[in-house]
Amino acid sequence: MGIGMARFERHVYDPKLGLPANVGLYQAKPPSLLDVPTDMKAAAVDKPDPQSPMGTKGMGEPPMGAAAAAVICAISDALGGVYFNRSPVSTDMIVNALFKRPPAHKPLQVNSV
């Protein structure tokens, strides 16, 4: 899930028509078995959460952000320190960064209407 968030699962809309571009699984692209490492290591930060009554923390979905961050940091490192500051980092963004081309995506916009 975190790897999908880091690399594949884009939310794509045509800004003029408001139509979603990736309505099929072949377009939304959740990662498959062939897209994830066979050997993954996970570790817990051994500190209780002061905000919860028993010091408990979420399991399952909450560590997804950490997984996505790990993958995106690895990509940035492999590219010699390119910071994308967004996810997912899709193939086109990596190719553009590798060949020192300007990114195709536009700066983030706030809808003020």
Partner 1 sequence: MIVKDVIPNFELYQPTTLADAFALLDKHGPDAWKLAGGNDSLTWWKERVKRPKVVVDLAEIAELKGVRERPDELEIGALTTLTEVECHPVIRTQYRVLADAARRVASPQIRNTGTVGGNVAQDARCWYYRYGLPCYRAGGNTCFADTPEGVNREHALFDTDRCVAVTPSDSAPALVALDAKMVLRSSRGERVLGTEEFFIGPKIDVTRLTSVRPEEILIAIRLPKEWAGARFYFEKAADRQTWDFALVNVAAAIVVSNGAVERSRIACGAVSAVPRRLAAVEEAIKGKVISAELASIAGRAAIRGARPLNYNGFKIPLMASLVMRAVRDATA
**Is residue 1 a contact point for partner 1 (CB under 8 A)?**
no
If binding is defined by CB under 8 A, does position 73 make contact with partner 1?
no
Sign of CA dihedral 6, 4, 90, 41: positive
Binding footprint of partner 1, residue count (CB under 8 A): 33
Residue 34 has which token pair? 């062939």
By CB under 8 A, the residues from 10 to 39 that bind partner 1 are 12-17, 19, 21-27, 29, 31-35
From 83, 90, 85, select the one nearest 11 (Cα to Cα): 90
Cα-Cα-Cα-Cα dihedral sign, residues 24, 61, 7, 33: negative
- Per CB under 8 A, which of residues 92..111 are in contact with partner 1? 92-93, 95-96, 98-99, 101, 104-105
Residue with smaller CB distance to partner 1, 30 or 55: 30
